[in-house]
Amino acid sequence: MSWDESLFFAINGLAGQAPILDQFFLYIGVFGTFYVPIALAVSYWIWIDWREAVIGGLALAGVIGLVDFIGNQVKSLVERARPCRAFTQTLTLEPGGCGGLYSFPSNHAINTAAAAAFLHVLYPRSGWVSWPIVALVGFSRVYVGAHYTTDVLGGWIIGGLFGGGIAWLLLRWPHFRQRMLSPAVSTQDKSSAPQRSTS
């Protein structure tokens, strides 16, 4: 048995021992769990700077769609069977059973890491919230028996590179963070400008 399989069974072996933990890790693995906090974050983003929110939101949606597609393509190329299909002793907690056929990489890990890296590059303080969520979601995928730890690690790397890379490019686009000057600042700038002599 490889170290990856041993680590999988060590984590997955915790399932079924505490119903409250089972429900918790099932809950955070459902994307619907994050609809409310995402809506609140987007609302705050729009309130702070609606223009940046629109551009950044579209870019974030695009990068998540891209990495999700890439993850599915890599799955088809690697064809690594999910642990819940490869081992009969796997404890599977998901209501729908084992899920898809293939395991590497975890699309949950890819998508959450892409979002966290994207936001971290644009707003470094967001990492205090986003990265713990990424870690919990990744751990939950192993806990419920859907993925190996390397599936999650691979997803984090792919998602992090794409999410952070797109945000880095966005910051270098001069029109992304144009700040509107207040009337007071604009007036002050005009008054401080050198006056042309009319004599």
Strands (DSSP E) along the chain, which ranges? Answer: none
Structure confidence at residue 14 (pLDDT): 86
* Helix/strand number for the chain, H first, E second: 9, 0
The HSE-up count of residue 65 (CA atoms within 13 Å, CB side) is 6
Q: Please state, in angstroms and rounded to a whole number, the distance separating the CA atoms of residues 187 and 175.
A: 23
Q: How confident is the model at residue 181 (pLDDT cuts 50, 70, 90)?
A: very low
Structure confidence at residue 190 (pLDDT): 47
Q: CB–CB of 134/112 below 8 Å?
A: yes
Can you tell me the mean pLDDT for 83-94? 80
Digit-coded pLDDT (tens) for 108-146: 999 999 989 998 998 888 888 889 989 999 999 999 888
Structure confidence at residue 40 (pLDDT): 58
Digit-coded pLDDT (tens) for 30-80: 765 566 556 656 776 777 778 888 888 888 889 989 999 999 999 999 989
**Looking at residue 199, what DSSP letter applies?**
-
Q: How many CB atoms lie within 10 A of CB 44?
A: 10
Decide if pLDDT at 159 tops 50: yes
Can you tell me the mean pLDDT for 163-171? 92
Q: How confident is the model at residue 195 (pLDDT cuts 50, 70, 90)?
A: low
Can you tell me the mean pLDDT for 170-180? 75
Residue 111 tokens read as 């998508």
Can you tell me the mean pLDDT for 8-32? 84
Contacts of 131 (CB under 8 A, 6+ apart): 116, 120
Which of 174, 17, 157 minimizes the C-alpha distance to 25? 17
CATH number of 3-178: 1.20.144
- Domain assignments of the chain as residue spans, ordered by start: 3-178
Decide if pLDDT at 16 tops 90: no
Residue 61 tokens read as 């949606």
Digit-coded pLDDT (tens) for 98-116: 777 888 999 999 999 998 9
Structure confidence at residue 180 (pLDDT): 41
Q: What is the mean pLDDT of the chain?
A: 81
Residue 51 tokens read as 């223009």
Q: CB–CB of 65/57 below 8 Å?
A: no
Structure confidence at residue 28 (pLDDT): 83
Q: CB–CB of 22/16 below 8 Å?
A: yes
Map residue 81 onto helix, strand or coil: strand
Structure confidence at residue 75 (pLDDT): 93
